[in-house]
A and B are shown apart, each in its own frame.
Chain A
Amino acid sequence: MASIEVKEVIEHPIKLRVMRLGKPVMFNSKVVTCDSKDLPGTVFNTQLKKDVTALADAETLAAGSFLMVPNVLENLYLGETFLCYIYLKNESSQTVYDIILKAEIDTATSHIPILGPKAFPKLDPYASIDVIVKHEVKEHGSVNKLICQVEYDRKHSFETIFSYRVPKPLDLKTKFYNTVTDEVYLEVQVQNIMSTPISLEKFILESSVGYNVISMNHLLESSDNKSIFGDMDILDVKETRQYMYRLSLDQTAEKNPTRTNNLGKLDILWRSNMGTKGQIQSSPLVRQVIS
């Protein structure tokens, strides 16, 4: 997906550009070295040493700190934050007055204003108005639009539409196992269906009132609650994890007779490139009671 979408309306003196921003990426240098007794001598090594994108004192490791604005953006997923640069420039030699800038998100089900209407008394020749808008994506689908509207000189107006898709990030599957003791075992399968590996920073089951939850995802013999998934929280592309929980009725809350079949919900937080954050909560997990 191209990261820049330029919409130009030629007849207007001010032009609006919109660019969805993904987190910057770290550029990893290309490492070419050789023995100093090989034909090229020390040339390649010197070039690498001078390469600003290389990692000083360990140049043969491509893990520099040189940031790049990504040329190709990762998808924007449900639960992540839509971040967009709105750039409004006066490209004429005349000052433009009374500018009003407005932005809203248009999804299949709702209109969400995310900017303004914001008024600017004037825009000098070749000057610009720069705004970064943010929006937490709470709805997935393929018909999301950012609509920016500009009014100026109290009579002219135009709008720019930036469309984007919001695919689902994770595939969640749940299974309940009812026991005779009125305990419920819950198995959750989570699969990373994004195009990039992620770090699962948080994956918890928040139980409803009246239930106690015991996470069964730690090694029994370890003293420090070691996760059965090891010490890396990385979930690769297409990788699946299985979590297991035991839910029991909260005895102290017995006075409350409203026993619900809603056991709780999952709260999941992940991060990907350079800390790109995403967070989702599952819909209520409802136990099916076999009658």
Chain B
Amino acid sequence: MDRKTPELRPAINEYFKDPSPSSNLFDNISSHATAESKREEPAVCRIFQQIETKKTDIFDIIKPPENNHNNSPAFDVQEPTFLNTGNDNVDLMDIFNHEYELSSIPAEDERRRFAWIPSVKTKNTLEKASQMNHTLPKDMLTMPGVENVNFTTKLYENLVSYLGEAEAAPFKSKNIEKVTQDEQGLKLLIEDNNFSEALNLTTRLLGMYGQGPGQMGYPSKHTKSSLQLWFTRFALLVKICAWKIISKEALAWDDLDRPDLYMQWYKDLYGNKYGTLVPFSFRLILAELPQYVISSTNVYNKLFEILVGVKKIISNLDNGLTEDGRNVELTIQDRNTSKLLWYSREAKVIHSIINCAVNQKDFKLAIKLLKDLIETPRLKYTTEHSRSLLSAMGRICLQVGDLKAHGYFLKSSRLKPQLQGTMVENKADYRELIDAALLAIAQNNYKEAYKHFENAYLMESNKVMVALNNMATCLFYEGQLNNAITLLEDAIQRFPDLALNESLLSNICCFYQFQNSASNKQRLLKYHIISKYKNSVTDVIN
């Protein structure tokens, strides 16, 4: 693959010319797809988004108020209540029933976001901190340092060998030196999907805090900014699956509870503020790590510890205290906003545990937790979120071969907003089609599944790629390898930005490999596409 193979060059163009007319099986698909460019972004579940606006529509999983504006048409009809729980006695935070003003005073906002309850030992140390002189024994300090790794992607180099420098030049990604050496520059690199260079920049920036390569185990000072840099670095390491590096760097953080990670420790810097320096997302990402590291003994420990912490905070808020249990007066607005934030964080932690359980094939745990979320919601969900939970449940059931999935898919269908006052035929929507197709596959009916996926695709939904990929998969299982390949190639050509993800490429590579292992023009295609649209797939460094 490393050889320069000029005779292969024309092959690239082959892949990017118009689809051959012989592929008329998919002609109707193709013609339909041209309108795709107008697709709108899906309404996302921004459950962790910070409270910024004043209306209650900040969390999309929560039932929005009447003046809901930015949802796609399918969401326009409002379902009055969450229907299927049969749990009317659950007091779903009344505040959502009213037009409620959320509080967004910066000081309150900061207190909420960074609230965390220290362990008893740490709490004692922190309380004494004002009296005793301000030092800690070394074993109570958090002393992180980055691993000495230079992150590179080999995409460009690979491309040069196939295309020559001139043609490959546009694919050269932004260099670390081309951006400002600060958080802004870091953000730019991430937006550019240049995770390797972004990571290299975090190495540099953390070096300025005395937390650079080789500095693990040496005392250094923590600030909110340094912790944000660490979070960003860890998030990127997760994205590129650099598990060895991340597990080494994670060691220094332990359980994020040492006194030097609390604001109380730095009276000179943070005055009388209480809370942790650690972003909540950092806490969560560290807790999610053990499932990716083979040597882990208990992958759930840290996740459940966080869940316990969050539940304590919620109960403090319920009992008229601050998040961390101090007896300080909060305004009703402030308190309710905080409850919202922490309920949504609770949901997020539970989601993480479910994901971990599915990853571990602990389907019983996943199903139990998800059932809880569905049957006793703490927040008033949007209809779409409720339906998503039910679909997720069905899909998890299918992963363990439980055909009771059907029941959950049905429940999800029943929640579908009905067009009131019209006699329009109640056609299956995108979600129903996908769910029905998955069920058909479980019953070995790939033909029917294909039809459902195709109909889902024709709906011009936001997620055409799922439908197309799954159609190709069905074709393959029906013994139509060549058609499956044509379909995927066509899809990549039409929606390169959507199509380029590891999973789809893994499918197409599998098909290529089976079709003709001697030819490497397929792999060439892969490199070419990846570099052309250069995101989504990073050259994994392990």
Contact = CB atoms under 8 A, between A and B. Distances in A.
A48 B355 CA distance: 15
B46 A61 contact: no
A43 B399 CA distance: 30
Given A130-B479, A234-B400, A275-B443, A43 B503 contact: no
Contacts of A56: 42, 44, 384, 388, 431, 462-463
If over half of B's interface residues share one DSSP class (helix, strand or loop), that class is named, otherwise mixed; here it is helix
B401 interface: yes
Interface string A8-40: 100000000101010111111011111111111
B403 A39 contact: no
B403 A201 contact: yes
B355 A35 contact: no
Interface stretch (A100-108, A178-186, A192-200, A258-266): A192-200
Contacts of A8: 517-518
Interface in A230-256: 232-234, 236-237
**Chain A interface helix/strand/loop/mixed:** loop
B186 A39 contact: yes
Contact of B441 (A4, A24, A34, A53): A24
Contacts of B476: 69, 85
A274 interface: yes
A274 B395 CA distance: 9
B41 interface: yes
B43 interface: yes
Contact of B281 (A6, A33, A71, A201): A33
Contacts of B392: 55, 58, 61, 63
A89 B479 CA distance: 13
Nearest to A127: B482
A21 to B, nearest CB: 6
A61 B389 contact: yes
B400 A272 contact: yes
Contact of A58 (B358, B388, B466, B499): B388
Interface string B458-488: 0000110110011001001111111000000
B358 A39 contact: no
B190 A40 contact: yes
Interface string B436-449: 00100111100000
Contact of B477 (A24, A270, A275): A24
Interface stretch (B2-10, B145-153, B157-165, B224-232): B224-232
B45 interface: yes
Given A128-B481, A131-B479, A276-B401, A60 B47 contact: yes
Interface string A125-157: 000101110000000000000000000000000
A87 interface: yes
Contacts of A277: 401, 444
Contacts of B113: 35, 37
B473 to A, nearest CB: 4
Interface in B51-91: 52, 60-61
A275 B394 CA distance: 12
Interface stretch (B29-37, B124-132, B207-215, B361-369): B361-369
Contacts of A67: 441, 469-470, 473, 507
Residue from A41, A52, A61 with most neighbouring chain B CB atoms (10 Å): A61
A259 to B, nearest CB: 39
B385 A58 contact: yes
Nearest to B387: A57
A58 B61 contact: yes
Interface string B500-530: 0101101100110111111000000000000
B483 to A, nearest CB: 10
B466 A61 contact: no
Contacts of B352: 31, 60
B49 interface: yes
Contacts of B501: 51-53
Contacts of A62: 354-355, 358-359
A30 B399 CA distance: 17
Contacts of A97: none
Contacts, number: 255
Contacts of A65: 391, 395, 434-435, 438, 466, 470
Nearest to A52: B465
From A36, A55, A60, A196, name the one whose CB has the most chain B CB atoms within 10 angstroms: A60
A128 B514 CA distance: 12
A154 B377 CA distance: 70
B351 interface: yes
Interface in B357-414: 358-359, 361-364, 367, 370, 382, 384-385, 387-389, 391-392, 395-396, 398-404
Contacts of A201: 401, 403
Nearest to B484: A69
Contacts of B285: 32
Contacts of A59: 44-45
Contacts of A38: 228, 231-232, 279, 281
Nearest to A201: B403
A87 B515 contact: yes
A19 B515 CA distance: 11
**Which of A58, A87, A198, A277 has the most chain B CB within a 10 Å cutoff?**
A58
A24 to B, nearest CB: 5
B235 interface: yes
B232 A60 contact: no
Contacts of B355: 28, 31, 61-62
Given A26-B395, A33-B281, A130-B481, A197 B400 contact: yes
B400 A43 contact: no
A264 to B, nearest CB: 26
Contact of A236 (B41, B47, B364, B404): B364
A197 B361 contact: yes
A37 B50 contact: yes
B401 A199 contact: yes
A85 B481 contact: yes
A249 B477 CA distance: 49
A152 to B, nearest CB: 19
Contact of B363 (A25, A37, A234, A276): A234
B232 A40 contact: yes
Contacts of A41: 187
Contacts of B431: 56
Q: What 4 A-B pairs have minimum CB-CB distances, sorted nearest first?
A: A275-B442, A271-B401, A58-B388, A63-B392
Given A61-B355, A201-B401, 17 more contacts: A4-B513, A26-B395, A26-B398, A32-B285, A38-B231, A38-B232, A50-B498, A56-B384, A56-B463, A57-B61, A60-B45, A62-B358, A68-B503, A89-B515, A91-B518, A130-B482, A237-B361
14 contacts: A17-B514, A30-B239, A35-B49, A49-B41, A56-B42, A57-B61, A57-B388, A63-B396, A65-B438, A68-B503, A68-B506, A199-B401, A275-B401, A277-B401
Interface of A: 3-4, 6, 8, 17, 19, 21, 23-28, 30-45, 47-53, 55-69, 71, 85, 87, 89, 91, 128, 130-132, 196-199, 201, 232-234, 236-237, 270-277
